[in-house]
Structure 1
Amino acid sequence: MHVEIDIATNDPQNRVFLTWRPVEALLRLVDAPAGSPDIDVTVSSTTRANGGRVVFADTLTHQGQPSLAITLPATGAPIAIFVGGEFQAPSSTYGDVAVEVREAASNQMLGSRPVMVRIRKNANNLSSMERDRFLAALASLNGLGNGPYRDFRDMHVAGAPDAEAHGGPGFLPWHRTYLLDFERELQVLDAEVSLPYWRFDQAAPNVFNRSFMGVPNSLGQVQFSAGHALLSWVAQGSAGIVRGRGVGPQTVPALFSETQTLALAGANGGFSGFRAMQGNPHGLAHTSHQGGWIGIPSTAPRDPIFFLLHCNVDRLWAKWQWIRGIHDPANPKAFTPSAGFPAGHRLADQLWPWCGPLQPPRPTTAPGGPLAASPMTGVPGGTPRIRDMIDYLGTMPGAAHHDFAYDDVPFQI
């Protein structure tokens, strides 16, 4: 007799990746002896040292508990529960936490399922293993300049593409989609990787060194340690990375702090006020490097620090959404109303390039194809709209999650 643990969805290797947002799990008693009574069990977890932790509930809630007592029918009928990562207790590797089902009376183990609480973390706090796995996946995606990374460079260039990504209210949802597509492509290469963020209102000595994002020399050529995965970096035919020397290990750029950014809309304001963060801190984070590719929109993605910078931009939006409780796309405060903005910046608009080539003045090319799929969720789909990118954690009734979360932004209904 044992218990099968089927947690929502899993990847081709039968692995389950969780975030703070709980997902449904089905528990089913298998091979119970004929005539057996229903069995009381306890669902809990076991965690390795410094591993992730998970919590349980019998409904979708942000108030999960470390264990849950349920009764499993001897007939094998499944019982649904919810399981999610315990906030601020993420994993560092797959299987460092496992869901367990034990018979309540005897404490006998009836079933176990390894999982990973996969969360976007502050890059300055990554372990060396997490850092190196991310760098290895990043280098593989670049593929000496010929890999899928090239598509992400080609999405973020001058002209009509620039008008899709910048200058209007679509800036934040467009870049959220961009990051999600990028992260999912990294996870094809290493499913345990998540996209880290550079918190640019704090010094980041563990980011701006030769072991991680490199240190530019007097000519702006970024230097790495021996054996570093990015020593083979090629961007648009140019070997290496060009970056100014404005940000170092102890540098705190002159831009809005997190507190100032989250206050941009005022006490009761909505997205129309908050989106001013496109200039400060976002724009100043780019130019704080004082030169190199990262300071110009058409070349910024050639430098991989771009994705850590924008991950923090998205985290700030996510934190603002959580603090204000604004996740419903129908809420006027969730996004700037459509009137007066061009196509690509209105709530119902499909986002380029994931929607394919468009008619002028929108871009007539579409590098990269549809948004990469995730085995953990079916949303936001291959051709998302702006409205699809707002409730990324699936907090609204019936909404699904996007399979990412930040280390300091909880799930809350």
Structure 2
Amino acid sequence: MTWRPVQAELRLIDAPAGSADIDVIVSSATRTNGGRMVFADTLTHQGQASLPVTLPASGAPVTIFVGGEFQTASASHGDVAIEVREAGTNQILGSRPVMVRIRKNANGLTATERDRFLAALAALNGSGTGPYRDFRDMHVAGPPDDEAHGGPGFLPWHRAYLLDFERSLQKIDAEVSLPYWRFDQAAPKVFNRSFMGVPDQNGQVQFSAGHPLLSWVAQGSAGILRGRGVGPQTVPGLRDETQTIGLAGPNGSFASFAGMQGNPHGRAHTSHLGGWITIPSTAPRDPLFFLLHCNVDRLWAKWQWVATVHDPADPRAFTPSAGFPAGHRLADELWPWSGPLQPPRPTTAPGGPLADSPMTPQPGALPRIRDMIDYLGTMQGAGHHAFAYDDVPFQI
């Protein structure tokens, strides 16, 4: 789960005939450096560390809401467990291991988190024969590029793209989430041979011995090509987080914030001064692309929280400008998940429908722009997308 609370159902089983209802306390037990949980009887961002509940002796279910405590995410499944204890005796009546799975700053990952992500990434690539090629082929020149860039659909399209990619990784390893490269800060734990590699004089990225990405192949080319513009201590010359949020501020609109497509997004790509990642049609050949775009999406998510704009019906949440083609309007289905479309929209759809999740049916197999806005399910009756960022809370 994430910061966004989800429903959990408690019930008493095998109570002897004539038993009375039982008062229990629901809380969490956390291993060292593990996640923590909060509980409530309604959907709220003000959950508590423990919740008293009365369980009917009849076995009738009681519904509560369970979420991760903001800024105390898990590192692995089972490092936190939900516990139900009898109120009077403190006896444990039930326990369930869980995980607060959050998208984190790549520079702060543990070695285990980093290595599990890299292993899943390598498996998805399959030395150039795996499903990774579908994600590479979605982000190419021509009509597909018109869907992903150059208009207001840029941010919603890439949010769907990242979600599909992350869920594909999670089918390989359910504990993995997509980390982000915060490109307005130095990232020495990202740009080294143990993680995203270090390019040599020829732009060929070098990795440590045994690294999962040593077998990387993209469109027939072994290895990864990347310029030397960003190193362990490099902070690219682009808008920082405060300046990016300030494009629209707490009272502005999506139309103002969307200017981030050029800076910092575009400059984060070109800051490498060469290699695949600097050109839209080749950028996803370099897996660093997905860490870069995860940060782009995080910045949108943070502005949405600062400005309190999650309702697709709010004109501040998404404001398309006149003159943009299909694929950039609020009700438009997004290619390629919507399947082949009529020209001038793309007539091929690599990868098929958006990957599903055991945690949520949202945003659906054929997402629209409007479906990608309230990713945390903050609106009444809205579903969530089963991802959140380490520094962006859930808030109704």
TM-score normalized with structure 2 length = 0.99
* 1:42 correspondence with 2:14: no
Give yes or no for contact 2:31–2:80 (8 Å, CA) kept in 1.
yes
Q: Identity of paired residues, percent?
A: 81
Is residue 2:90 matched to residue 1:123?
A: no
Secondary structure (helix, strand or coil) at the match of 2:12 reads strand
SS state at 1:101 partner: strand
Aligned match of 1:284: 267
Number of equivalenced pairs: 396
Q: RMSD of the alignment, in Å?
A: 0.6
Matched, 1:192 2:175: yes
Call closer, same or farther: CA 1:113–1:197 in 2, change over 3 Å. Answer: same
AA at the equivalent of 2:280: P
Structure 2: any 5+ residue segments left out of the alignment?
none
Equivalence for 1:387: 370
- Matched residue, 1:168: 151
Are residues 338 and 346 of structure 1, via their aligned partners in 2, closer, same or farther at CA, if it must alter by over 3 Å? farther
Which of 313, 333, 356 aligns to 1:330? It is 313
Alpha-carbon distance, 1:338 to partner: 5.9
Runs of 4+ with >2 A deviation: 337-340
Counterpart for residue 187 of structure 2? 204
Report the alpha carbon displacement of residue 267 of structure 1 after superposing the two structures with TM: 5.1
Match of 1:251 among 228, 234, 240: 234
CA contact (8 A) 2:83 2:95 kept: yes
Distance 1:367-1:97 versus aligned 2 partners, 3 A rule: same
What's the offset of the Cα at 1:341? 1.8
2-structure distance, mates of 1:357, 1:384: 14
**2:161 — aligned with what?**
178
266-275 or 61-70, larger mean C-alpha shift? 266-275
Q: 1:340 Cα shift?
A: 2.6
Per the TM alignment, residue 70 of structure 1 is displaced from its structure 2 partner at its CA by 1.0
Q: Following TM superposition, by how much is the alpha carbon of 1:405 offset from its aligned partner in structure 2, in angstroms?
A: 0.1
User: How far is 1:339 from its partner?
Assistant: 3.7
After TM superposition, the structure 1 stretch with the greater mean CA deviation from structure 2, 336-345 or 151-160, is 336-345
Matched-pair contact (CA < 8 Å) for 2:249–2:303: no
The counterpart of 2:65, out of the listed 78, 82, 92, is 82
Residue 359 of structure 2 corresponds to residue 376 of structure 1 = yes
Q: Check whether the contact 1:338–1:347 (CA below 8 A) recurs between aligned residues.
A: no
Give 1:140 shift: 0.2
| Counterpart-to-counterpart distance in 1, 2:393 and 2:298 | 11
Residue identity in the other structure for 1:23? V
Q: Is residue 406 from structure 1 mapped to residue 389 from structure 2 by the alignment? A: yes
Q: What secondary structure sits across from 1:45 in the alignment?
A: strand
Structure 1 residue runs of 5 or longer lacking an equivalent are 1-17
User: Which amino acid in the other structure matches residue 77 of structure 1?
Assistant: A
**SS of match in other structure, 1:68:** strand
Structure 2 equivalent of residue 14 of structure 1: none
* d(CA) in 2 for partners of 1:128, 1:280: 31
Distance in 1 between the 2:25 and 2:149 partners? Answer: 51
- What letter matches 2:311 in structure 1? D
Deviations 1:307-342 (A, max 9, x none): 000000000000000000000000000001464321
Q: Which of 131, 148, 160 matches 1:148?
A: 131
Question: CA separation in 1, counterparts of 2:53 and 2:333?
Answer: 44
Change (3 A) 1:79 1:147: same
SS of residue paired to 2:297:
helix
Deviations 1:88-118 (Å, cap 9, x if unpaired)? 0000000100000000011111000110000
Q: Out of 334, 337, 341, which is 1:354 matched to?
A: 337
CA distance in 1, matches of 2:380, 2:360: 16
> Shift in Å at residue 171 of structure 1?
0.1
Q: For residues 169-207 of structure 1, what are the alpha-carbon distances to aligned partners after superposition, in whole Å with 9 as ceiling and x for unaligned?
A: 000000000000000000000000000000000000000
> Is residue 2:248 matched to residue 1:265?
yes
